[in-house]
């Protein structure tokens, strides 16, 4: 008798999958199908990761329900999920979830039904899909199952001819519907001004309007609408609709002819796309060299061959230029996937992509898992950005996952940056990636002039610590000329700490071992790590002293200083404080782009891929901010940030100027950023990495154990450290355990063990240790970070 056993990954933070039996009455689910299984006293939805070979000793439980006859996504995506779980030592349940539809695990299903008479009229009666649908509508997954093979492309053709209609199954739970308000009684009279306004709005919309649109700018009308519904004057209907999230409008310029540089780098990329085989390119093009156009031409080539394309960006809101250009160029076939989408929008986008309505996906990190069928190209723009690394489990790196996905799909990966990560550059030099360069800027202005102001000298001469005289003067000049300025300070808030003048204590977070930052002009105290927020303390928590002093400064204070120095200037701020309000980032960027702002002050958020033609000055208030961090990537990050922000100046025909204020003007990261000399920086940085044994010379694996009880945490860390040392000889080094640099976070004590050496050996040892986790030692929470981007 055939064994009907399957391995099922459950949404639990455990390393292994569980074995279940499939009852005879159910079809044997394939890998990637969702099943409902009993777990303890609960029923949970899991994902079949494969057949189970042998039954473990204990009595097996039955699968309660098979939700999908066949998997919702293609084998390469399932392989990708399995790879992420294996490589990053992450729970399989969490990894499979990345590739499945987002809005609840039991989201809607795509259902196909016959179009109205079209099939017969078109002479398609013999088509197997049409034949299968004669009996009635079927789920697309069922069709795939019955016909033995994924019928997606055939289905697409039938849809194009309108022979088959595919729609979402509204019965399926998790599908958010849009409500439509319909005016029933056109002659009805209103009671009160609010009802009158609702009726007036509906009349203007010809008696029908979606409720969200009706109430968009006037949420207070909700009550009046409800009363009109109760009175029977207005009826609510369900309208099924796919929400296409706000795509920024803009004119559609014809695509430019490639420049010489673009033509040269495109030749091998287009050839690779045409071959349809895996290849990885590092596109190293300075800021303003025209990388976007290279991405787009490569994407067109993929589309021409009937394949899809994925363009990853660090953050959609900060990539307006690219996003807008993509929509202008490719129209409806672009799907935007990012964190500001509502659950419903996310869900719709997933299905649009899955059903082949979107062939090009532009999105942030998690879009690397978008269900684009037959992927031909993956682009990772600004590949050096650390935001590609997810900082919670599964701790994957979007860029590395993108390369792996390209490999599994037989696609071409293009990693683009003006300041490649040291890892990628080493891969390019080593021949693992093909190396493409675009060394010159488009347009006449060339690279901006860079001036370094030594703040030590300036302070001695009695200068304002925020705006030194050269920067102040340059700002004034821009105002006169009606040109714009970006001012970078990579530290948000008003003051960096609150110090007691009597005992010297610094106000710190009750949950974390970090100083509280002051915001809102010094009135609010905020922890940047756990989000704890409270009114700024009036007295010292230690000695009750009344005299507290604000020290250090952040972006808020810079805005204040600029307003004081240049009262006529229109100044705005862009940082994470703003990002919590939906649409606020876009608002500030749009105002700056429209010329309604003269000076934009911000954190690294202003340094990204913006293209503002009227910016001729970039000022860096304190270029040393990142250098003080005890992290092996401090110099790399600083070099990248300064080079990127400098690249924002003088992007049109107006020449650009950059002023860096620094205490450490001789530091190589600064000096070489000023000279925009990437190669020299890389050589210098590699020397440091070789000496210290840091990536890419060696691999890292970081373990952080967390516990509310410091003794329990320390003991567990010791035990884990010993176990790993026993497994280590000659293959990797075990550093620690030690208190993590961030010793306490969200009320948990943190202990760190850093492994350095051969990645495969480290992963094997940690995997084994985690398997034994429920053995003799009871371990508290442990987070595993393979290839950490930072060890702070």
262 vs 427 by CB, closer to ligand ADP: 262
Q: Does residue number 285 form part of the binding site for ligand ADP (CB under 6 A)?
A: yes
Of 288, 356, 493, 619, the one binding ligand ADP by CB under 6 A: 288
249: DSSP letter: P
Site stretch for ligand ADP (CB under 6 A), options 256-264, 297-305, 562-570, 743-751: 256-264
CA separation for the pair 503, 387 (Å, rounded): 39
Name the packing angle between helices 422-429 and 678-692 (round to 10°).
100
Q: Of 4, 692, 675, 658, whose CA–CA distance to 286 is shortest?
A: 675
From ligand ADP, Zn ion, none, interface partner of 56 (C-beta below 5 to 8 A by class): none
Interface map 531-570 toward Zn ion (x if CB under 5 A): -x--------------------------------------
Of the chain, the end-to-end C-alpha distance in Å amounts to 55
Site stretch for ligand ADP (CB under 6 A), options 255-263, 366-374, 506-514, 751-759: 255-263
CA separation for the pair 615, 607 (Å, rounded): 12
Q: Does residue number 509 form part of the binding site for Zn ion (CB under 5 A)?
A: yes
Tokens of 287: 């800021």
Under a CB-based contact definition with an 8 Å cutoff, are residues 573 and 559 in contact?
Answer: yes
Q: Does residue number 661 form part of the binding site for ligand ADP (CB under 6 A)?
A: no
392 vs 666 by CB, closer to Zn ion: 392
Under a CB-based contact definition with an 8 Å cutoff, are residues 460 and 516 in contact?
Answer: no
* β-pairing verdict for 657-662 and 615-620: parallel
Q: Does residue number 442 form part of the binding site for ligand ADP (CB under 6 A)?
A: yes
CA separation for the pair 409, 315 (Å, rounded): 25
| 202: enclosing H helix or E strand | helix 193-204
Of 34, 284, 291, 608, the one binding ligand ADP by CB under 6 A: 291
Say which residues have a Cβ less than 8 Å from residue 676's Cβ, sequence separation at least 6.
Answer: 286, 447, 450, 643, 646
Under a CB-based contact definition with an 8 Å cutoff, are residues 539 and 554 in contact?
Answer: no
Site stretch for Zn ion (CB under 5 A), options 89-97, 212-220, 433-441, 503-511: 503-511
From ligand ADP, Zn ion, none, interface partner of 31 (C-beta below 5 to 8 A by class): none
Instruction: Name the minimum Å distance from CB 519 to Zn ion.
Output: 14
293 vs 593 by CB, closer to ligand ADP: 293
Distance of CA 43 to the CA centre of its chain: 31
Q: Does residue number 479 form part of the binding site for ligand ADP (CB under 6 A)?
A: no
From ligand ADP, Zn ion, none, interface partner of 527 (C-beta below 5 to 8 A by class): Zn ion
Q: Does residue number 440 form part of the binding site for ligand ADP (CB under 6 A)?
A: no
Q: Does residue number 159 form part of the binding site for Zn ion (CB under 5 A)?
A: no
Q: Does residue number 507 form part of the binding site for Zn ion (CB under 5 A)?
A: no
Q: Does residue number 506 form part of the binding site for Zn ion (CB under 5 A)?
A: no
217 vs 653 by CB, closer to ligand ADP: 653
Tokens of 21: 């039996």
Of 52, 512, 658, 703, the one binding Zn ion by CB under 5 A: 512
CA separation for the pair 757, 469 (Å, rounded): 49
Q: Does residue number 511 form part of the binding site for Zn ion (CB under 5 A)?
A: yes
Interface map 208-247 toward ligand ADP (x if CB under 6 A): ----------------------------------------
320 vs 338 by CB, closer to ligand ADP: 320
Q: Does residue number 262 form part of the binding site for ligand ADP (CB under 6 A)?
A: yes
Under a CB-based contact definition with an 8 Å cutoff, are residues 130 and 164 in contact?
Answer: yes
285 vs 665 by CB, closer to ligand ADP: 285
147: DSSP letter: T
60: DSSP letter: P
Q: Does residue number 743 form part of the binding site for Zn ion (CB under 5 A)?
A: no
CA separation for the pair 82, 678 (Å, rounded): 36
Coil, helix or strand for 498?
strand
Peptide bond before 533: cis, by omega within 30 degrees of 0? no
Residue 336 φ then ψ, to 5°: -100, 130
Q: Does residue number 676 form part of the binding site for ligand ADP (CB under 6 A)?
A: no
Of 190, 520, 530, 697, the one binding Zn ion by CB under 5 A: 530
195 vs 292 by CB, closer to ligand ADP: 292
Q: Does residue number 290 form part of the binding site for ligand ADP (CB under 6 A)?
A: yes
Q: Does residue number 384 form part of the binding site for ligand ADP (CB under 6 A)?
A: no
Instruction: Name the minimum Å distance from CB 318 to ligand ADP.
Output: 13
Name the β-bridge partners of 377. 309, 412
Q: Of 507, 512, 505, 546, whose CA–CA distance to 528 is shortest?
A: 512
CA separation for the pair 581, 287 (Å, rounded): 29
Under a CB-based contact definition with an 8 Å cutoff, are residues 411 and 275 in contact?
Answer: no
Site stretch for Zn ion (CB under 5 A), options 120-128, 424-432, 512-520, 765-773: 512-520
User: Quick one: residue 17, left, alpha or beta (phi over 0 = left, psi -120 to 50 = alpha)?
Assistant: beta
CA separation for the pair 90, 14 (Å, rounded): 8
Instruction: Name the minimum Å distance from CB 259 to ligand ADP.
Output: 5
From Zn ion, ligand ADP, none, interface partner of 291 (C-beta below 5 to 8 A by class): ligand ADP
590 vs 697 by CB, closer to ligand ADP: 590
Site size for ligand ADP (CB under 6 A): 15
291 vs 455 by CB, closer to ligand ADP: 291
Name the β-bridge partners of 434. 281
Of 292, 358, 640, 661, the one binding ligand ADP by CB under 6 A: 292
Residue 746 φ then ψ, to 5°: 45, 45
Instruction: Name the minimum Å distance from CB 741 to Zn ion.
Output: 14
Q: Does residue number 527 form part of the binding site for Zn ion (CB under 5 A)?
A: yes
Sheet bearing 533-535, strands edge to edge: 517-519, 524-526, 533-535
Contacting residues toward Zn ion, per CB under 5 A? 509, 511-512, 527, 529-530, 532
- Residue ranges that bind ligand ADP, judged by CB under 6 A: 256-259, 262, 285, 287-293, 442, 611
């Amino acid at each position: 008798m055939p064994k009907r056993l399957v391995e099922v990954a459950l949404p639990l933070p455990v390393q292994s999958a569980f074995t279940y039996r499939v009852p005879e009455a159910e079809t044997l689910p394939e890998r990637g199908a969702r099943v409902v299984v009993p777990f303890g006293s609960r029923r949970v939805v899991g994902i079949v990761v494969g057949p189970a070979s042998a039954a473990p000793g204990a009595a097996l439980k039955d699968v309660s329900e098979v939700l999908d006859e066949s998997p919702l996504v293609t084998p390469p995506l399932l392989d990708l999920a399995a790879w992420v779980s294996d490589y990053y030592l992450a729970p399989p349940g969490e990894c499979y979830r990345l590739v499945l539809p987002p809005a609840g695990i039991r989201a809607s299903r795509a259902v196909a039904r016959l179009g109205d008479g079209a099939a017969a009229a078109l002479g398609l009666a013999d088509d197997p899909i049409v034949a299968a649908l004669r009996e009635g509508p079927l789920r697309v997954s069922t069709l795939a199952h019955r016909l033995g093979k994924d019928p997606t492309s055939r289905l697409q053709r039938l849809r194009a001819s309108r022979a088959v209609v595919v729609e979402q199954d509204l019965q399926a739970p998790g599908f958010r519907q849009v409500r439509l308000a319909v005016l029933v009684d056109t002659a009805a009279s209103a009671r009160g001004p609010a009802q009158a306004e609702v009726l007036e709005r509906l009349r203007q919309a010809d008696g029908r309007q979606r409720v969200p649109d009706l109430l968009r700018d006037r949420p207070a009308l909700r009550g009046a609408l409800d009363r009109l519904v109760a009175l029977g004057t207005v009826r609510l209907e369900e309208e099924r609709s796919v929400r296409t999230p706000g795509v920024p409008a803009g004119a559609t310029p014809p695509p430019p002819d490639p420049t010489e540089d673009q033509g040269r780098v495109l030749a091998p990329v287009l050839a690779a796309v045409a071959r349809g085989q895996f290849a990885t390119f590092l596109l190293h093009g300075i800021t303003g060299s025209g990388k976007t156009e290279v991405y787009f031409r490569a994407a067109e080539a993929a589309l021409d061959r009937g394949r899809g394309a994925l363009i990853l960006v660090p953050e959609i809101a900060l990539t307006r230029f690219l996003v807008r250009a993509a929509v202008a160029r490719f129209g409806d076939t672009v799907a935007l996937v990012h964190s500001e989408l509502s659950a419903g929008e996310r869900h719709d986008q997933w299905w649009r992509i899955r059903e082949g309505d979107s062939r090009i996906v532009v999105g942030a990190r998690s879009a690397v898992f978008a269900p684009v069928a037959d992927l031909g190209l993956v682009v990772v723009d600004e590949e050096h950005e650390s935001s590609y690394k997810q900082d919670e489990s599964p701790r994957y790196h979007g860029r590395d996952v993108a390369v792996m996905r390209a490999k599994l799909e037989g696609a071409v990966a293009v990693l683009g940056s003006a300041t490649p990560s040291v890892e990628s550059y080493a891969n390019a030099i080593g021949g693992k990636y093909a190396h493409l360069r675009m060394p010159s800027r488009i347009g006449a202005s060339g690279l901006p002039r860079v001036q370094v102001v030594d703040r030590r000298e300036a302070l001695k001469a009695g200068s304002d610590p925020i705006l030194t005289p050269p920067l102040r003067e340059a700002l004034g000049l821009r105002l006169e000329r009606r040109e714009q300025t970006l001012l970078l300070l990579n530290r948000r808030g008003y003051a960096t700490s609150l110090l007691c003048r009597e005992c010297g204590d610094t106000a710190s977070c009750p949950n974390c071992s970090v100083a509280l930052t002051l915001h809102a002009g010094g009135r609010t105290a905020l922890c940047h790590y756990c989000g704890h927020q409270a009114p700024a303390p009036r007295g010292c928590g230690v000695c009750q002293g009344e005299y507290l002093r604000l020290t250090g400064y952040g972006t808020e204070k810079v805005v204040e200083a600029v307003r004081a120095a240049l009262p006529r200037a229109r100044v705005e701020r862009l940082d994470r404080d703003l990002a919590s309000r939906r649409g606020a980032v876009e608002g500030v960027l749009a105002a700056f782009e429209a010329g309604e702002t003269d000076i934009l002050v911000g954190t690294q958020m202003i340094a990204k891929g913006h293209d503002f033609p009227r910016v001729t000055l970039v000022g860096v208030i304190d270029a040393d901010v990142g250098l003080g961090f005890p992290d092996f990537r401090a110099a790399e990050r600083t070099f990248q940030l300064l080079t990127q922000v400098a690249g924002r100046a003088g992007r049109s025909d107006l020449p650009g100027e950059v002023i860096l204020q620094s205490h450490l003007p001789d530091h190589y990261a600064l000096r070489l950023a000023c000279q925009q000399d990437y190669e020299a920086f890389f050589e210098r940085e590699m020397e440091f990495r070789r000496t210290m044994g840091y990536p890419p010379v060696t691999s890292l694996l970081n373990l952080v154990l967390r516990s509310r009880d410091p003794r329990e945490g320390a003991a567990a860390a010791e035990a884990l450290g010993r176990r790993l040392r026993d497994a280590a000889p000659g293959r990797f080094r075990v550093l620690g355990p030690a208190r993590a640099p961030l010793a306490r976070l969200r009320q948990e004590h943190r202990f760190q063990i850093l492994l350095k050496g051969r990645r495969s050996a480290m992963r094997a040892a940690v995997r084994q240790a985690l398997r034994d986790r429920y053995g003799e030692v009871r371990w508290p929470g442990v987070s595993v970070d393979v290839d950490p981007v930072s060890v702070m």
